Amino acid sequence: MRRTFAGIAIAGATALIAAAPMAAADEHDSSTVTYEASDEIVANPQRGFYHHTETHYRADGSGYTPLDRATLEGFRDEGITQILRVFYLEKFAATPELDPEFLQLVQADYDTAREAGVSIITRFAYVQGGAWPYEPPFGDAPVDVVLAHVEQLAPILQANSDVLPVVQNGLIGLWGEGYYTDHFVADPANPGVVTEEDWANRSAVTQALLDALPADRGVQVRTMLSKQKLFDVPTGAEGAITAEQAAAGGDIARVGHHNDCLLAAPDDWGTFLSDPIELDQQYLEADSLYVPVGGETCNVNPPRSEWPSASAELARYHYSYLNRDYNKDVLNSWGEEGLAETAKRLGYRFVLEDSTVTSGADGGAEAISIDVRNDGWAAPYTPRPAALVLQGETGSYVVPFAQNGDARTWLPGTTTTLSATLDAVPEGTYEASLALPAADPGTAADPRYAIQTANVGTWNAETGLNDLGQSVTVEAAAVPPRPTDPAPAPTDPAPAPAPSPTAPAVPAPDASPAPTDTPAPSVPAGDADPGDADSDDGGGATDDGGPTDLAYTGSNGASTLAGGIAAGSALLLGLGLVAVRRVLRRRASLME
C-alpha cells in the first residue's frame, strides 16, 4: 500500500551534522533491532548482470531498432536493471554532422529506458567486426570527425545522465574497442603499434567524452594503458587513483575500465599490456576500488575461466557489471550456484546489520545509529545519498546522517555506521526507514532507482524505503517547522544532474539543484568552509552550533514521500559529504 504524507522536510540538516557525539549506552536507554540477511538476488540499480543491445544507422538511414519498453521491463523481472547499448554510426564515419533524426532516436531510447526503470551503459562506435581475420580498411572515423560527433552528442548525454551510469570510450576501431582502426594507429595493418601521436589522439577522444558528461559521470577505457597515457601515470599500484583523488572527483576519478575479454587469456587478449603483466593487474586492483569496472567474458580458458578463478578475479578487480549474454559457454561453466553468487555480488550488496535508537534524559529519542555491511565486490560509482526518513502523523522528515552520507564510501568488505541526532525533528512518534534514492532529480522519486538492502522483510517497493522496524518518539523539538510552498514530485524526464560530492557543503537557495519549481530547503549557510574536506566538523554548522529551521515542503497532502526525497537528495549530498575525503582515506587504510 502506497503511503501519502502531509509533509516532507529536510530535518535540521546543519544542526545534525554539527551535533555532539551520542551518549554511552549506560547513560541513556536504547532500543536495538537486529536484521536478518537475505540470500535473494536483489535487482538494484547500476550493478549486476546486463543484457547487450545494439542498433545501427546505415548510409540510407536504415538499421535503427528502438528500445522496447515491454522488453526492458521483462529484464527487470529477471533481476536485471541495466543494458549495454551500442549505437553504431555507420552513416557518419566520413562526415562531421549527425542527422537530427538520429539524435531524436537516441533520445527516445533514453526516454524508454527511464519509463521502464532501466539504465543504459552507453557506447558509440562506427563499425562492427565481421569474420576473422580482420583486415583494413576497417571503417571507423578520423579523430576530427569523432570529436565533432561527441560535441553533438553532449547535450543528450547530459540531459539523460539520470539513466546513464557510465559511457564506454568506444568510437575507435571495430566494436569501438580501440584495436582494429584506420585512424588511431600509424599502420592499420599493424594495429599493435601505437605511436605517441596516436595516443594523443586517443586521449583527446576520452577527454572529449569526459567534457561532454556531467561531472558526476565517467568514461570506461578498454585497457589500463589508455588511462595511464591520458593522465601520465605509471602502471603498478603506485599509478592507481588514491582515496584523496577519488574524493576530489577530478577527471582521474571519472575514468574506469571495461574488459571485454575477461578470463580469456593470460593478458585477456591485449587488455593487460604491462611487462611484467602483474603491474597492470596490481594497477587495476587498486584503481578499481574507486572507479567503475565491468565487461564480458570472451572464450573458454580453463582453469582460469572456471568459477574458482573467475570469482576471485571479479572480487579482486571490483566488478560492478557483467554481460549475461556472452560468452555463455564460460558463464554456464560456473554452474547455477556460481551464476547466482555473481548476480548477488556484482557491484554493491548492502546488508542492514542493526540499528539503535538512543533516548535522552526526558525519555524521548535523541539519536539513531545504523550499521550497514557491503557484501558486494564494489561500491556504487555514482552519487548515492543516504538519509534517515521519519514518517509520522505530524509529517515526514528526511534527516541527513552526520557522516558517511554518500554510499560510494561504503567500500566492499566493510561495515559502515550511520548516525543522526534528532534535535530538530518536531515532537511526535515516527516509523524510521533508511533511504538510498537516486541523486538525480529525474529518478530520485522513482523507487525502481532506489537501493534495496539485502534483508528479509525490510523493503517497501512502493516508497523505495528500507524499513528499520524502529518506532521513534521525539519529545518537544528545539525549533518548530516553518512551512514553505508545497514541493511537487519531479516530472521533467531529462533534468540537469545533481552536483558531485565536491559541491559546496551548503548550497545557496538560488543554486539548489532541487527539481524545477521546487523551493530549496531553507538552511543557513553558516561559516563552513566547503574546501576543507579534512575538517572534523562535517561542514554546514551554524555559528552557534544550535539547531536550525526545518524546511517543510508540503502541508496540503499533495507531496509524497518520494517527492520529498527527490527534493532533498541533492541537498543531502551537499550537506553530508564535506568529510568524504577523510572517510575514503580511512577506509582505504583499513583495506590495506
Q: CA-to-CA distance for 57 and 63, rounded, in angstroms?
A: 5
pLDDT band at 586 (very low <50, low <70, confident <90, very high): low
Say whether 385 sits in a helix, a strand or coil. strand
pLDDT, the chain, mean: 82
The cell for 120 is 543504459
* Coil/strand/helix, residue 372: strand
Average pLDDT rounded to a whole number, residues 22-46: 82
Sheet holding 8-10, edge to edge: 459-460, 465-474, 428-435, 387-392, 395-400, 8-10, 550-552, 481-483
| Domains of the chain, CATH where assigned | 8-41+349-591 (no CATH), 48-222 (3.20.20.80)
Whole-number pLDDT of residue 360: 86
pLDDT for 13 beyond 50: no
pLDDT at 247 (0 to 100): 95
What is the 3-state secondary structure of 280-310?
Answer: HHHHHHHHCCCCCEEEEECCCCCCCCCHHHH
What would the pLDDT profile of 420-458 be if each residue is shown by its tens digit?
999 889 999 999 999 999 999 999 999 999 999 999 999
Contact between 42 and 454 under an 8 Å Cβ cutoff? The reply is yes
Say which range, 31-45, 402-416, 466-480, 572-586, has the weakest mean pLDDT.
572-586
Report d(CA 429, CA 520) in Å as an integer: 26
The owner of cell 574497442 is 177
Distances (CA, A) of 257 to 113, 177, 279, 293: 23, 12, 16, 5
560-579 confidence digits (pLDDT tens): 455 555 555 545 544 434 34
Q: Is the pLDDT of residue 355 over 50?
A: yes
Helix (H, G, I), strand (E, B), or coil: what is residue 269?
coil
DSSP 232: T
CA distance 322 to 313: 13
Residue 427 CA, chain-centre distance (Å), reads: 35
Indicate if the pLDDT at residue 220 is higher than 70: yes
* 519-544 confidence digits (pLDDT tens): 222 222 223 332 333 333 333 222 33
Say which residues have a Cβ less than 8 Å from residue 410's Cβ, sequence separation at least 6.
348, 350, 372, 374, 379, 380, 404, 416
Nearest to 31 by CA among 357, 361, 354, 467: 357
- Specify whether the CB–CB gap between 356 and 368 falls below 8 A: yes
Model confidence at 29, in pLDDT bands (50, 70, 90)? confident
Does 500 have pLDDT greater than 60? no
| Rg of the chain in Å (alpha carbons) | 24
Confidence category of residue 558, pLDDT binned at 50, 70, 90: very low
Report residue 245: phi and psi, to 5°.
-65, -40
State pLDDT tens for residues 86-122. 999 999 999 999 999 999 999 999 999 999 999 999 9
Task: Output the pTM of the full model.
Answer: 0.82
- How is residue 67 written as a grid cell? 528500445
